[in-house]
Amino acid sequence: MGVMSNAPVPEHSGWRKAFVGLLEGMLDGLYPPSCAVCGVSLKHGRALCDACDRDLPRLAAPFCQCCGEMFQGKIDGPFACPNCHELSYAFEFARPAMVRDERTLELIHRLKYNRQIHLARELGRLARESFADPRLAPALEGSWPMVPVPLHRRRLQHRHFNQAWEIARVLGGHTGLPVLTALRRTRQTDTQTRLTRKQRMENLRGAFAITRQGRRWIESSPDGVVLIDDVLTTGSTVNECAKTLQRAGFRRVFVVTVMRG
């Protein structure tokens, strides 16, 4: 499953590909790459072999049209899962590319916590498969900006990078969509790993604000944005981000993540 054919193509792609190919060849000689899942030797800066790539489970119908939770069974037509049935999100829908799998989760954790930034290339490439979903056509056709979920400055100083921004940057190369730093985190929140959905919502309340860059974009092009994150678990984080973006003036918010947690 690839990117929809109407996605913009970056200019000068020919010489850029040639330059990137040359650079990758030099790096392969200095630092021989290997598959992050099975360890087999690779080339061209890859971190995931074709066999492991094919084996990672993708999101496939039927799945919840709100959060992307996959349903193991047969359902005719669009549906909302029991968790989303009585909920009202600020975003229109979330579209993960992958279903929960320990191998995919390990790639994400190695990017986030082990600072293996080269894995963002593979995760962004996997995330682009979400854009084959026809519901994302307005974003591609309108060149909506992709907005990474931000980290608080203290966590950013500790980690030195934002994994959502790194994934969005790779996605931008595949889709032609711009990456916009439209949100900032106003306060550091407690880790959400062991919190309930209600606790997560309270933990995140008022944690985001629109940036000057985001306000400038709204003045000229308020149609919509695509929020980017690594994993969607309860949807609390992206929902709070979507509320902030809508209050600032963006009319529509879609969500794309690498994996459904």
Q: What pLDDT digit, counting tens, does each position of 201-244 carry?
A: 777 888 999 999 999 999 999 999 999 999 999 999 999 999 99
Give a yes or no: residue 3 inside a domain.
Answer: no
DSSP β-bridge partners for residue 255: 94, 227
Lowest mean pLDDT among 46-60, 148-162, 179-193: 179-193
Lowest mean pLDDT among 30-44, 127-141, 160-174, 189-203: 189-203
Beta pairing, strands 208-210 & 183-185? antiparallel
Counting the structural domains of the chain, the total is 1
Query: Do 241 and 210 meet the contact criterion of CB atoms below 8 Å apart?
Result: no
User: How many C-beta atoms surround the C-beta of residue 50 within 10 A?
Assistant: 11
Instruction: Of 28-37, 162-171, 185-194, give the range with the top mean pLDDT.
Output: 162-171
pLDDT computed for residue 130 by the predictor: 98
Give a yes or no: residue 1 inside a domain.
Answer: no
User: What does pTM read for this prediction?
Assistant: 0.85
Give a yes or no: residue 219 inside a domain.
Answer: yes
Question: For residue 18, what pLDDT band results from cuts at 50, 70 and 90?
Answer: low
Question: For residue 16, what pLDDT band results from cuts at 50, 70 and 90?
Answer: low
In angstroms, rounded to a whole number, what is the distance separating the alpha carbons of residues 68 and 238? 13
Give a yes or no: residue 6 inside a domain.
Answer: no
Query: Do 95 and 229 meet the contact criterion of CB atoms below 8 Å apart?
Result: no
pLDDT computed for residue 187 by the predictor: 86
Domain encompassing residue 231? 13-260
Single-letter amino acid code for the residue at 43: K
Give a yes or no: residue 5 inside a domain.
Answer: no
Query: Do 181 and 150 meet the contact criterion of CB atoms below 8 Å apart?
Result: yes
